[in-house]
Amino acid sequence: MTVPAQPVPLRFIGGTAGALTPLAVFLAGAAWLAAQGAPDERGFWPVLLAALAAGWLLTRERGRYAEAVIAGMAQSVVLLMITAWLLAGALSSVLAASGFVDALVWCARTIDVRGGGYAVAAFLACAVVSTSTGTSFGTILICGPLLYPAGAGAGVHPAALLGAILGGATFGDSISPVSDTTIASAGTQGADIAGTVRARLKYVLPAGAVAMAAAFVLGGMSGVTVDAVGPPSGDPRGLPMAAVPIAVVAMLLAGRHLVEALLGGLLAAVALSLLLGLVAPTEFLHVEAGSVTASSILIDGLERGVGVSIFTLLMVGLVAAIDARRRLQDVAARRPVALGATGAELRIVAWLTAAIVLTTHSVVAILAVGPYAAQVGGQSGLGPYRRANLLDLTACTWPFVLPFFLPTILAAGTTVQAGAMPRLSPADAGLYNAYSWTLVAIVGWAIAVGFGRGEGPAAVTPGEPGQDAGAK
């Protein structure tokens, strides 16, 4: 059988250093934005354009560079994410207009769940949705615009609530067997997914418990109070709209496509809101006489997904053009193999952290460093469960706490137009994500003392029979 030839990487002035320079430009710009308060994802557009321009100036093959940018943007997984973000934005806009948030406020006030208790409830709700769907991004987009504004009626500390929403979505992503990071980490290490997730529980459950305790304590701090949003009544008329997000989650649990579930949920939300008289037909599309523009709650919702969609297109175009995955893998492969288990684990975590920071994409980073982790970990006696969990746990830390990653940007985006609740920055979201910060400490402790190192099947040297067993 003839093995297809691999495409020749683009040549850059300065070799690998020159190829990675555009990522350095992006990181420098992102750091500056973070220092200035980290605006929403639109603030990253000029930085990414500058990084793309730097790559174009440094490459020796500018025509191929442009083609690589477009090829990266055209990946089906990218189009899937963008479509899901747009539909989720439209869905949340319809639910908000139908009074669903007011109904949640009414529920919170009626059962007197407020302060830290509401923050814990938000963490658990997001954890259930994220575990069921395997997507932290989708959970943030679906739950954030609903749970965050309703927090005003519960008198919860705004930043603590946002951190609980982000933390719950991260926790679910950590233990979900259908998460993309779970699949990527287990697959690159030849580990079965079920066993990998079971072995991971000893790390994530304590982190989840700490996160809920932090949400309870921090959520009770002074912040937006119930009195700030008027009489403690709310409006229960929008409660039937709860059937819509429940139906979306049910469709996902039944194995339906993410876009199918979101589109079905959007149609159901429109129909139910009209049937119950919660939203006037003109709110879905209205054109003023003599005006050249249209107004619509659907348009408003779609516009919420524009910022992160353009950010994603530019970012994946940049990563694809400089072939970051292959270059990081090649650099890592040139490093000497660690002499002991602790050294190997430190190197795996360090290389994955570097890849995550450079690419700002967890799955891309895992796929890039995975082969290196299998080699250095296998030769140092680390089993596939241990290697896979080091990769996955690390991937659930930095992207969910640093302000220039999509999860924190998305979380901050849900605070826009949140009624009495203030608009927060990505830095606020990451700082109050107690789950991921606790996970950083647990991973460091587990490496230092060897906790959990011997669990699971024995290490298999890469290339030997059985290396891929159970990976499917």
Task: Look at 393-397, 411-415, 465-469 and tell me which has the smallest mean pLDDT.
Answer: 465-469
Q: Output the pLDDT for position 108.
A: 65
Confidence of residue 472 (pLDDT cuts 50, 70, 90): very low
> Is residue 471 in some structural domain?
no
> Is residue 149 in some structural domain?
yes
Mean local confidence (pLDDT), 250-259: 75
Task: Look at 160-164, 415-419, 460-464 and tell me which has the smallest mean pLDDT.
Answer: 460-464
What's the pLDDT tens digit per position in 118-136?
999 899 888 887 887 677 8
Q: What is the pTM of this model?
A: 0.73
CA neighbor of 457 nearest in space, from 387, 394, 401 = 387
Which secondary structure element, helix H or strand E, spans residue 109, and what is its range?
helix 100-110
Confidence of residue 290 (pLDDT cuts 50, 70, 90): low
16-30, 161-175, 234-248, 372-386: range with highest mean pLDDT: 161-175
> Is residue 116 in some structural domain?
yes
Query: Are 169 and 401 contacting, i.e. CB atoms less than 8 angstroms apart?
Result: no
The total number of structural domains that make up the chain = 1
> Is residue 457 in some structural domain?
no
Longest dimension (CA), the chain: 75
> Is residue 127 in some structural domain?
yes
**Residue type (1 letter), 130:** S
Q: Output the pLDDT for position 137.
A: 79
> Is residue 6 in some structural domain?
no
Burial 157-180 (b: 16+ CB within 10 A, else e): bbbbbbbbbbbbbbbbbbbbeebb
Range of the domain at 407: 15-449
> Is residue 420 in some structural domain?
yes
> Is residue 465 in some structural domain?
no
